Amino acid sequence: MYLGGDLSYVNEVEDNGGVFYHRGNVGDPFRILRDYGANIARVRLWHTPLWTKYSDLKDVQRTIQRAKALGMAVMLDIHYSDTWADPAKQIIPAAWSEINDLRTLEIAVHDYTVDVLQTLDRQGLLPEFVQIGNEINTEMLMPGPYIEGATINWDRNARLINAGLRGARQAAPKSRLLIHIAQPENLIPWFDAASSAGVHDYDVIGLSYYPKWSIRSLEEAGQTIAQVRQRYHKEVMVVETAYPWTQEIGSTESHLLAEDAVLPAYPATPSGQREFLIALTETTQRNGGNGVIYWEPAWVSTPSQPSIWENAALFDYRHEVQEGIEFLRLSDTARAQE
């Protein structure tokens, strides 16, 4: 069972003065998560993010080095965009925006994927998992935000996804390849269409499960995992999830995970966050899934950069680790150590 967190924000938080604590002592957030049982770290990669110096290849190398130094597996999340890619936007990198020929764009996707992974391999930083796109519910590499009701051009979409998969297979033959879709209710329709279009050469189906944006209950999400495993004969991992531990205002006037993110059975308290994560992890494992990765457990506020996610981190407003992190103890690694 892979349990861990997406730690892409850690370098930026620390560079801006953020300090993390465990029982009152200053600590490395990678080590804190590892010591609680985390055996995987996820990290996002943007193509050429001129608006920030983070989540480019240099920053990704720094993050992977920190994770691997502690013996953690790594999941590289290639966004194929210069900014956030999600169901509402899959915006093509500026470097490719003038490419009008699909074959030329396929080559660009393939060669970029190969170059990234070969660069990491030369430094001994090859990831154990490679994610081809982030929450690619809609068509990849589009010129602008998703238009509600637009249909996916599956000939184009499949060719681009497969170009990334081929590049990853070539440059990282021992890594497991993953395709990531947001919210369990979207999995079967999307993967049925992808299969019909010829997308097959991947190992893991990754999903985001956020109660705020999903119509599936926690139990139904688990049932979907079981159905997907049986239907496609792939591994299944929850590669993004999160839950608020408070609705009290900290450094920001509003939170992304506000009251509409709270389930009746799990109040927005530290123990409510913990119980939700344990329930999700147990449901995932019971239904044949083999991983749960918390999205941005360390995206806390700093004096210069408030975080709209601070009420959903695994650290409180003083940056002290709190009990939600204890879901990591359910990993096979933690059980073996105990």
Q: Are 298 and 7 in contact (CB under 8 A)?
A: yes
| 25-27 vs 20-22, strand pairing mode | antiparallel
Provide CB contacts within 8 A for 236, sequence distance 6+. Answer: 204, 205, 206, 207, 225, 228, 229, 284, 288, 289, 290
Could you tell me the two tokens for 150? 């637009």
Q: How far is CA 162 from the centre of its chain?
A: 20
Helical segments of 151-234, H only? 154-171, 187-196, 218-232
Closest CA to 63 of 42, 80, 77: 42
Q: Which long-range contacts (CB under 8 A, 24 or more apart) does 115-124 make?
A: 116/45, 116/57, 116/76, 116/78, 116/171, 117/76, 117/167, 117/168, 117/171, 117/172, 117/175, 118/171, 119/57, 120/60, 120/61, 120/64, 120/76, 121/171, 121/172, 123/61, 124/68
List active site positions. 135, 240
